[in-house]
Amino acid sequence: MNPGPADAAIDQAVAWLLSPDAEGPLLATGDSAAVIERVQSLAACRRMTEGVPCGTCSGCRGLTPDILRVSGAEKPISIATIRFLRTQLALFPLADRRLVILEHAESLTPSAGHAVLKLLEDAPPTARFLLTATLPGRLLPTIRSRCRQLRVPPAAAATLPPIRLPLPTGIGILAAVDSVQAETAAIIGDYLLEHVRRSGPTPAARLALLRLRDYYRVAATGGNVRLATEVLLASLLPFAHS
Ligand SMILES: [Zn+2]
């Protein structure tokens, strides 16, 4: 099999996991799903042969307290979750190696972020912390600076076709748009997240996501939806058919 673009990053993550020395936290950015899968399967197995998980031990069947995985994909990661992690780490201190995975760490709430920082400072040397973030700029700088960063390239060098929305091309048409239907907003959100997944958080995508967030906020609070819509649509022009 030809090496994929992410293979070098996966190798680095594996070396980090299996290092006999204490290793600081690793922050994987970009297309980190394959890194998580590989690191988790290696950390789980109790009867690995030459770097290959056995597939049958209790760890491989998912029955291990040695892996703690939390994802912020659906909702923000709360301080309660981090406190739970802390108790879990304290409960089983004898394992050879503990792996804590914090997926989408940019969605840590501020208080949870500070709790994670404390956790990183106090963690036993056998613990490995793998953080992933699509938008690492949203992490606490103090967390970022503690982590070794690993940029994972997209699995395939694919770019999205232009967004298929009836996008206005001029201010006159923009002004005629009264509102974006909820369904359209959801399509815009999916499109932007897919764009970020494939191409990383480009400045245009970041801006559009901020505008989309503003749009939702304004729509939820009964603000000036028309203005928010215009601003949102304008931010999408870099993604539209030219
Ligand atoms: Zn196994």
**139-171: pLDDT as tens digits:** 999 999 999 999 998 765 455 555 555 444 333
Does the residue 17 lie in any domain?
yes
Q: Check residue 52 and report its DSSP letter.
A: B
Report the candidate in 228, 201, 226 with the shortest Cα–Cα distance to residue 212. Answer: 228
Q: 30: how many CB neighbours lie within 10 A of its CB?
A: 25
Residues 148 and 29 in one domain: yes
Residues 143 and 31 in one domain: yes
Q: What is the Å distance from ligand 1's center to 47 Cα? A: 5
Q: What is the Å distance from ligand 1's center to 185 Cα? A: 44
pLDDT at 42 over 70: yes
Residue range 35-52: mean pLDDT, rounded: 88
Residues 123 and 32 in one domain: yes
Q: How confident is the model at residue 112 (pLDDT cuts 50, 70, 90)?
A: very high
Q: Could you tell me whether strands 67-71 and 98-103 are parallel, antiparallel, or unpaired per DSSP bridges?
A: parallel
Q: What is the Å distance from ligand 1's center to 51 Cα? A: 11
- Give the chain's largest Cα–Cα span: 67
Residue range 45-59: mean pLDDT, rounded: 84
Q: How confident is the model at residue 26 (pLDDT cuts 50, 70, 90)?
A: very high
Does the residue 163 lie in any domain?
no
**Rounded mean pLDDT of the chain?**
82
Residues 145 and 181 in one domain: no
Residues 137 and 56 in one domain: yes
Q: Is 202 helix (H, G, I), strand (E, B) or coil?
A: coil
Q: What is the Å distance from ligand 1's center to 13 Cα? A: 19
Domain housing 70? 7-152
pLDDT on residue 242 = 41
Q: How confident is the model at residue 5 (pLDDT cuts 50, 70, 90)?
A: confident
Does the residue 14 lie in any domain?
yes
Q: What is the Å distance from ligand 1's center to 61 Cα? A: 8
Residues 124 and 71 in one domain: yes
Q: What is the Å distance from ligand 1's center to 57 Cα? A: 4
Q: What is the Å distance from ligand 1's center to 46 Cα? A: 5
pLDDT on residue 220 = 80
Helix then strand then coil, in percent of the chain rounded to 5, is 50, 15, 35
Residues 20 and 115 in one domain: yes
Domain count, the chain: 2
Q: What is the Å distance from ligand 1's center to 223 Cα? A: 55
Q: 90: how many CB neighbours lie within 10 A of its CB?
A: 10
Q: What is the Å distance from ligand 1's center to 205 Cα? A: 41
Task: Report d(CA 118, CA 95) in Å as an integer.
Answer: 21
Q: What is the Å distance from ligand 1's center to 34 Cα? A: 18
Q: What is the Å distance from ligand 1's center to 41 Cα? A: 8
> pLDDT tens digits, residue range 66-109?
888 999 988 999 999 999 999 888 876 555 678 999 999 999 99
196 or 148, which is more confident: 148
Residues 182 and 80 in one domain: no
Residues 6 or more apart from 74 whose CB is under 8 A from it? none
Report the candidate in 139, 157, 155, 51 with the shortest Cα–Cα distance to residue 103. Answer: 139
Q: How confident is the model at residue 56 (pLDDT cuts 50, 70, 90)?
A: confident
Task: Report d(CA 200, CA 79) in Å as an integer.
Answer: 28
Residues flanking ion ligand 1, Cβ below 5 Å? 45, 47, 53-54, 57, 60
Residues 78 and 127 in one domain: yes
- Tally of helices (H runs) and strands (E runs) in the chain: 9, 5
